[in-house]
Amino acid sequence: MPKKVRLPIVLMLAFALALGLAGAPGAAKVAYEPWGPHVDEIIMPIIKESEARRIAFERGESVVWAGLTKPEDIDRAKVIPNADMTMTLGFHMFYLCFNMREYPLADQAVRQAIAHCTDRDNIIRTLFKGYMLPMTSFIPQVSPFYKADVPVYPFSHAKAAEVLDKAGYKLDPVTKKRIDPKTGKPMRELKIFTPTYEVAPTSAELGKMIADSCQKVGLPVVPEPMDFPVMLDKLDIMEFDMYCLAWNLSRNPTSLYSFFHSSQDVEAGYNRPGIRDPELDKLLEDLNYAPDLKTAKTASDKAQLILAREMPYVPLYSRPFIDAFRKDLVTGYVPMKGYGAASYNNMWTTLNIRRVDRSGRPIEGGTIRWTLDEEPKNLNPCVASSAYEWEVLSRIYDGLQAMDPDTLDDMPWMARKWDVGVWEPEPGKKGTVVTWYINKGIKWSDGQPFTAEDVKFTMDYLKANQVPRYKPTTDDVVKVELIDKYTVKIYYQNVSYWHLYRVAEFLPKHIWQDVKDWKTFEPWKEPHPKIKGYSKLVGHGPYILKEYRPGEYVRLVKNPNYWRLNPPSK
């Protein structure tokens, strides 16, 4: 039976205090400016080897050494001259995922046995010297929706063997392999996919540690590191047994719906385990369509209890975002609560980072180099799913709202304001309606105006084409109504507190209205219909994609049409 445990956050707080990192819990209020950017060009060299990234940082060939997790890297960064380290607790989860569609991982007993074989404490102690935060829940500790007392299957080979024996997976005394009770033959080999050691050494080693532990109870589990883009392709078509990866999450708990509701079990969808549980679906719907935060919290807590029982994932750890910056080269990076200073989810560093002169004074313009850990596989925003792709795309697109980096409160951004109301989709039934008021004067990067019509087009296009990545955004949309050039209403078929955040605005109508096949469209490769030397990757964010040489670098340049280039005149 699972036990209930409460994992303390004290270790992480002690770690932050010991390092004295900027952005640590209790640090001063974050300073930032809501305009920019202040750098003319970002060159993003693609450096897959972790040691090579360290060398690039030490040589000043990259202004950032981002997402530090290896203890030796953290220790090294602490002593590098001119390295300034920042840390924030993160909306992050590293996990082991099971493909529950296929036997034997469809069997709860096998999943639970593997969970019993997973030694979180040893992983964190061996690979991370205790720098990570053990995670047993499905919501990170930094979230107000975190549930500390979910049941867990504690590490125990004896318990794993007991679960397998009881379910009929007997151990062959000669081969020391488990016998499949359905066939009477040894169980088939079960593979754990991970990125390669060159790209993500701790992830690859973690997969090996879990596999080795499973083998001790006769489970034929083997690690299989592979090229990251190939791995993502296999996950999208559900061609896997298990894999180890991380999610960078958000402040809202609706990721539970995206990851585990049966409606999201589609090709390239986010329900990669393929879990289909009616009781869980009902609770996730209660969460997804909660009218208020109290209702959402109750549904979230109950859903996490079922997830802990069914184990579509084995949550492993949540990492703090630890980033090192070259303070002799740049200033203005912003440690954002829950996201870190260098995360692609943090727009404030992109806007505020500046070069510095020899005296450390900030200067405008110029070029910085910011390493990419892996090849961006696809720069079509309807298809892109990896952090490496959004490292690029997040600098090309903006949103209707922003989040305060210190409080995470909503801020008007491309929308100057919004209203949330109620309408009747049919007599006697209530639904949410959100009215968005778009700021005037915003332009796409090719100079065309950004208007409410682009919001309507994006929502209609994503819904009509059932784009898997955005199903949670569009599934409940009944209609989108254009009120005027800068006002749009989105009508949802039901009431939900979260509908305010279910909006998309990243498809320029004048480019995408002619795109028939969103899956194969490669906007970064196709020439712009009117502007020579420019592509169809048109955004409304602070940067433009100038050049992408696969295997070498991505080059971004300041968007001259960006609407937040300068502070408003007084």
Specify the DSSP element, H or E, that contains 297.
helix 293-310
CA 75 to chain centre: 26
Which is nearest to 339 in space by CA: 220, 216, 250, 457? 250
Which is nearest to 244 in space by CA: 285, 191, 207? 207
Specify the DSSP element, H or E, that contains 491.
strand 487-492
Cα–Cα distance, 110 to 112 (Å, whole number): 5
For 246, the token pair is: 């991380």
Question: Which pLDDT value is given to residue 45?
Answer: 98
DSSP string, 395-457: TT---SEEE-TTT--EEESSEEEEEEEEEEEETTEEEEEEEEEEPTT-B-TTSPBP-HHHHHH
Cα–Cα distance, 207 to 415 (Å, whole number): 44
Tokens 């992983």 appear where? 123
Cα–Cα distance, 318 to 95 (Å, whole number): 9
User: Is the backbone of residue 474 left (phi > 0), alpha (psi -120 to 50) or beta?
Assistant: alpha
Question: Which pLDDT value is given to residue 14?
Answer: 42
518 neighbors 534 (Cβ within 8 angstroms): no
Cα–Cα distance, 404 to 335 (Å, whole number): 11
Question: Which pLDDT value is given to residue 22?
Answer: 52
Centre a 10 Å sphere on the Cβ of residue 507 and count the other Cβ atoms it contains. 24
Q: Is the dihedral of CA 147, 118, 315, 259 positive or negative?
A: negative
CA geometry: angle 305, 286, 90, nearest 5 deg: 60
For 500, the token pair is: 């305010």
Question: Which pLDDT value is given to residue 282?
Answer: 98
567 neighbors 35 (Cβ within 8 angstroms): yes
For 63, the token pair is: 């202004």
How many CA within 13 A on the CB side of residue 358? 0
Question: Which pLDDT value is given to residue 570?
Answer: 58
CA 451 to chain centre: 28
Question: Which pLDDT value is given to residue 76?
Answer: 95
What string of pLDDT tens digits covers the 570 residues of the chain? 455 433 343 344 444 434 445 554 444 456 899 999 999 999 999 999 989 999 999 999 999 999 998 899 999 999 999 999 999 989 999 999 999 999 999 999 999 999 999 999 999 999 999 889 999 999 998 898 999 999 999 999 999 999 999 999 999 999 999 999 999 999 999 999 999 998 889 999 999 999 999 999 999 999 999 999 999 999 999 999 999 999 988 889 999 999 999 999 999 899 999 999 999 999 999 999 999 999 999 999 999 999 999 999 999 999 899 999 999 999 999 999 899 999 999 999 999 999 999 999 999 999 999 999 999 989 999 999 888 999 999 999 999 999 999 888 999 999 999 999 999 999 999 999 999 999 999 999 999 999 999 999 999 999 999 999 899 899 999 999 999 999 999 999 999 999 999 999 999 999 999 999 999 999 999 999 999 999 999 999 999 999 999 999 999 999 999 999 998 875
For residue 31, CA distances in Å to 36, 66, 87, 343, 489 come to 14, 20, 15, 17, 34
